[in-house]
Structure 1
Amino acid sequence: MIEIDGSMGEGGGQVLRSALSLSCLTGQAFHIYNIRKNRSKSGLMRQHLMAVQAAARIASANVAGDRLGSPELSFLPDRITPGEYSFDIGTAGSATLVLQTVIPPLLAARKASRVTVIGGTHVPFSPSWNYFAEIFWPSIARLGVRGETEAGSFGFYPKGGGRVTCTVQPAEALAPYQVRERGRLTRLRIVSAVGNLPRTIAERQLQAALSGLKGRLERGLPMDIETRELTIFGQGTFIFIKGEYEHAVAGFTALGERGKPAETVGSEAAREFLEHHESGEPVDPHLADQLVLYLARASAGSLFRTSRVTSHLATNLLVAGYFLKLACRVEGSEGEPGAVAITPIPQ
């Protein structure tokens, strides 16, 4: 059984989620301790417990330690079973992180699967649904992942209640990812949305983002701009900025919260987008770590450049190395642009 110290790397839930994905995929059992030790409230929270339960269901796993607050967990997977699954987190825990836990193993199933998750779709410290559907999913589709994404409703902290669905087709082999240049920026898309709050808040978020971007992008750049009023449980706001380049896409989300001015939300998203854009690199910092589990089982070596090397990227590479034979190299310091090479070694 593989032993994993959950405090390694970024020391959060990512260590656990990646281990669950790879355990199901490879059939290797693992024991993890010090779960989320580097967080203020360590141990399994509800969204992490749902990721465990979701992985256990698709792989008919035997699990010990799967309870709220548990600092350790043992996971012994069996065979992956395709099918129709529904998981209700019961809180505003991230629905996209649960989906990202089960997608890699379901790619190795014999038939297609359909997974619905109820929870938070636009919540802190996780990919927003817009990012998942418009950045992450097209990027793994480029590797050979086939399926569809659908959002029935959105959910915000603390009420949750969002409902999202993903269908996953089997994929015997995934293509490598070779992206060293992104080309020119061809289009910008901005969505500013509110749920059960005045539309003027979405408009203020949008205007702040546009003000932050003014004079920093190419003249005449095509832009798709949208303000939305959502029907949700509770209240919430977000703004999402998507950059479409010739050879890459990148996205950034900022979330509203009580006491946070709409102008701050819009400016935050614009600032994060510009930091990426002005680096000249193709892969945004969030996508860089999210690609690791897919490139670790690609048919050949991958090489890409990212605008910022993160602890999440380093952590995913470390966890992948427990389950798969890989040759990995990261050039660049944490917080700076860098290059990432991932080469699977035939077993």
Structure 2
Amino acid sequence: MIHIDASEGEGGGQVLRTALALSMVTGQPVLLENIRARRPKPGLMRQHLTCVGAAQAVSGAQVDGATPGGQTLRFTPGPVRGGDYHCSVGTAGSVMLVLQTVWPALLLADAPARLTLQGGTHNPMAPSFHFVEQAYAPLVRRLGAAATLQLRRCGFYPGGGGEVHAELHPAGPEGLQPFDLTARGPLIGRHAECLVPGVRRSVAERELGVLRDQLGWAFDHRAIPVTRQNEGPGNALLATLRHAHVTEVFCSIGEKSRSAETVGEDVVRQVQHYLGSNAALGPHLADQWALPLGLAVWRSGRAARYTCTEVSLHASTNFQTIERFLPVQFEARPLPDGQAMQVEVRPTGDNAA
């Protein structure tokens, strides 16, 4: 059994999600202690319990300690199975984090999986649906595993009520195939859109106006998509940069305490930070890409690299958690130009090619 002190490093819920995913992938039981110990509300919250329940459902796991506020969890997985699954957070907690908990294991399942996920789709401190569908999923497909994601209904805090359908296929006959991603390639397109269900249209116009004035982007009415009243009230501003080799999506969530101009300026900062570097991946995609790439390196025995604007504490903690389960090693180093980092993932021990 692998023992993990979940308070180490960044100390948040990502340690739990990565540990659950790789416990299912490797079949190794895991004991997590001090879960979210550094957070204002330590322990397992509803969203984390949904991740545990989803992992239990797809692997037939035995679970001890899955209680609200619990800081110790024992997870003993069985074989991962494809099939139909329904997961409801029951609050506005992020369904995208639930999806990313089970997706790595389902890459190696015995059959495709079809998931219906209900809860929040656009949350602070979590990847948005648009990010996962447009930035993360295409990279997973390049590894050799098909996936289709559909946003049926947006879900915002505090109402939730969003719904996402996902059809996830295991890797093809050649297995997961790692690849280098060191350049983003030429810019093919860029666009922004603003979600404002139950919110005045003028909020979207002001947020998009900040991007127009500070980035020089032009917009038409399609930048404000039609959303139903029962999907809100809620607000998310999204900016997408589509390059030849990678797509990046930057998001900021509107709240009562934040002006439309503050939301717009947040997205501008994210875009400018990315464009100020020549790296392939932004900080969030660099973090989330580590797990599926680590799986591919492990299964193939071949190393792979990617460049990113920075390696956050969240990412380095994720690297360390992955290394606890898989015979791979992450090495991050700055590139000579000082504008980017390179992360190399290498197989170790008998797994090295």
For the residues of structure 2 that align with 1:270 and 1:311, how far apart are their CA atoms?
A: 23
Matches within 5 A, 1:192-211: 192-211=194-213
1:21 paired to 2:21: yes
Higher helix fraction (1 or 2): 2
From 170, 174, 177, the counterpart of 1:175: 177
TM-score when normalising by structure 2: 0.92
- The residue type equivalent to 2:67 in the other structure is R
Secondary structure class of the residue paired with 1:315? helix
1:337 paired to 2:340: yes
How much has 1:332 moved relative to structure 2? 3.3
CA contact (8 A) 2:278 2:340 kept: no
How much has 1:222 moved relative to structure 2? 11
Secondary structure class of the residue paired with 1:84? strand
- The residue type equivalent to 2:91 in the other structure is T
For the residues of structure 2 that align with 1:339 and 1:151, how far apart are their CA atoms?
A: 33
Matches within 5 A, 1:147-226: 147-171=147-171, 173-214=175-216, 226=223
Partner of 2:224: 227
- The residue type equivalent to 1:177 in the other structure is F
Q: Which moved more, 1:129-138 or 1:184-193?
A: 184-193
Matches within 5 A, 1:170-319: 170-171=170-171, 173-214=175-216, 226-231=223-228, 232-298=230-296, 299=300, 300-319=302-321
For the residues of structure 2 that align with 1:308 and 1:223, how far apart are their CA atoms?
A: 33
Matches within 5 A, 1:41-120: 41-120=41-120
For the residues of structure 2 that align with 1:235 and 1:212, how far apart are their CA atoms?
A: 27
How much has 1:61 moved relative to structure 2? 0.5
How many matched pairs?
Answer: 341
Secondary structure class of the residue paired with 2:241? strand
Partner of 2:137: 137
For the residues of structure 2 that align with 1:225 and 1:285, how far apart are their CA atoms?
A: 28
CA contact (8 A) 1:301 1:343 kept: yes
For the residues of structure 1 that align with 2:144 and 2:221, how far apart are their CA atoms?
A: 28
Write out the 4+ residue segments of structure 1 that deviate beyond 4 Å after TM superposition: 221-225
Deviation readout 1:78-130 (Å, 9 max, x if unpaired): 11121100001000110000000011111111111101110000111100111
Q: Which moved more, 1:309-318 or 1:10-19?
A: 309-318
CA contact (8 A) 1:5 1:32 kept: yes
Unaligned runs of 5+ in 1: none
- The residue type equivalent to 2:197 in the other structure is G
How much has 1:282 moved relative to structure 2? 1.0
How much has 1:225 moved relative to structure 2? 5.8
CA contact (8 A) 1:187 1:222 kept: no
- The residue type equivalent to 2:343 in the other structure is V
TM-score when normalising by structure 1: 0.94
- The residue type equivalent to 1:192 in the other structure is C
- The alignment's C-alpha RMSD in Å is 1.9
Partner of 1:6: 6
Secondary structure class of the residue paired with 1:79? coil
From 318, 322, 325, the counterpart of 2:324: 322
CA contact (8 A) 1:212 1:271 kept: no
For the residues of structure 2 that align with 1:195 and 1:118, how far apart are their CA atoms?
A: 17
- The residue type equivalent to 2:89 in the other structure is I
Deviation readout 1:189-237 (Å, 9 max, x if unpaired): 11112011111111111111221213xx9xxx99996112422344111
Q: Which moved more, 1:11-20 or 1:225-234?
A: 225-234
CA contact (8 A) 2:153 2:231 kept: no
Unaligned runs of 5+ in 2: none
Secondary structure class of the residue paired with 2:189? strand
How much has 1:36 moved relative to structure 2? 0.7
Secondary structure class of the residue paired with 2:122? coil
For the residues of structure 2 that align with 1:313 and 1:336, how far apart are their CA atoms?
A: 18
How much has 1:40 moved relative to structure 2? 1.2
Q: Which moved more, 1:49-58 or 1:173-182?
A: 173-182
Closer, same or farther in 2 for the Cα pair 1:223/1:137, shift >3 Å? farther
How much has 1:183 moved relative to structure 2? 2.4
